[in-house]
Amino acid sequence: MAHQERSLPFYTSSEEAENAIKKAGRYMNWLALRLARPILATGLLVSVLFFISSFLDRPTKFRTLKAIPTSMSSTSTHAAVTWSDYAYVQYVTDDNYLCNSLMILEALHRYRSKADRILMYSEEWKVPEQNQRSGNISVEGQSLAKERDLYAAKLVPIKLQSFERAGGDQTRKDSYKKLLAFNQTPLSPVAMPHAYWLDDFFLCSAVLLVEPSQREWRRIEAVLQREDSGFDMEVLNTLYKDQCMVLPHCPYILLTGDLRGKNHTRYLGSDETWNATEISREVKYVHFSDAPMPKPWLRVADNYMAAHRPEWIDVGGGREMDCADRDGWSGLYQKRQSIRGRV
């Protein structure tokens, strides 16, 4: 039985949708780019670990992209990897993110990823044992059981901690829970991609490579108690910005909002020609951050979505239009819905 999404409002006008988005969080326009949660794995391929494991050591100083090898043998890398030392780790705090985690696990299972798959979830959700009837089990419990039984996820119940310094900001509190991955088990570098969409150099926490460490978790807890701790991304940059390994954002992460933009130099980082079709095909992880569009599990009217999709680009003096950005953008949302329907 597929996990059922909660009944959500269907917005019939741009004005209603705009107001709903503003009420959902005053940070939507600016902060959506800085919140990092696993939304959709359109191809979080095992090649990510192939790539990382070949140059993973303990850096003593900041590394630039020049330190990363330009070529490597995936065959030799595969032979050198002890997959039991690696795991894809996710956390869920509500049923929306439980649905998204199910989609990611399905993709990892489909691509036959060799690393473990760990899902941290609220201990308040009761999970049935294998072969147990689901009579009085909640929808959340049934979904967790599905992730365990169909996609080989290792379920780790956690007590959702309260971070008092976050005040009444629930979004900020929820962003901290991802950092619990550091507290799962022994000191290694942290590897993060560059948050290419920001003006200043900053590292993005949407995709992380970490080795759990109680020592590092204690350092993180100390920062969380500070008045200026910020969100999870700020916490990680405070501790690791000048020490961690920088992963190239291309092709490992893409914001959907980039397909609606006209200036792509931040993503490309060079004079390379923007090719939305090629980039959409190569990217490993898509982060739905696309204000004023809401998150993809919030339904909007067709006319609202049509009003905010990328424009056609005139490439032939009115005789020829480039539709690649629009097609790529629409395709990502359609693919998300297709995967959602399948799981």
Q: How many domains does the chain have?
A: 1
Output the pLDDT for position 12.
40
Q: What is the CATH number of the domain that holds 131?
A: 3.90.550.10
Alpha-helical segments (H) within the chain? 14-24, 28-31, 47-53, 74-80, 95-110, 139-151, 170-176, 214-224, 232-240, 249-252, 265-268, 276-282, 302-308, 324-342
Is 224 inside any structural domain?
A: yes
Is 334 inside any structural domain?
A: yes
Is 1 inside any structural domain?
A: no
Residues paired with residue 314 on neighbouring β-strands, in sequence order: 321
**At residue 191, what are phi and psi to the nearest 5 degrees?**
-120, 130
Pair 17, 301: CB distance under 8 Å: yes
Residues listed for the chain: 343
> How far is Cα 172 from Cα 160, in angstroms, rounded to an integer?
14
Output the pLDDT for position 150.
92
pLDDT tens-digit profile, the chain (343 residues): 444 443 333 434 444 444 444 443 333 333 333 333 332 232 332 233 333 333 333 333 333 333 333 344 444 556 678 888 888 988 887 777 888 888 999 999 999 999 999 998 888 888 988 777 666 788 889 899 999 999 999 998 887 655 555 455 555 455 555 555 555 543 445 788 888 888 888 888 888 888 777 888 888 889 888 888 888 888 888 888 877 888 888 888 999 988 888 888 888 877 788 888 888 888 888 888 888 898 888 888 888 988 888 887 766 666 667 788 888 888 888 888 888 888 8
Is 6 inside any structural domain?
A: no
Is 275 inside any structural domain?
A: yes
Structural domain boundaries, residue 272? 33-62+81-290+309-342
SS (H, E, C) 104-159: HHHHHHHCCCCCEEEEEEECCCCCCCCCCCCCCCCHHHHHHHHHHHHHCEEEEEEC
**At residue 307, what are phi and psi to the nearest 5 degrees?**
-70, -20
Q: Say if pTM beats, i.e. exceeds, 0.75.
A: no
> How far is Cα 310 from Cα 326, in angstroms, rounded to an integer?
5
Is 14 inside any structural domain?
A: no
Is 159 inside any structural domain?
A: yes
**At residue 153, what are phi and psi to the nearest 5 degrees?**
-80, 140
Output the pLDDT for position 331.
86
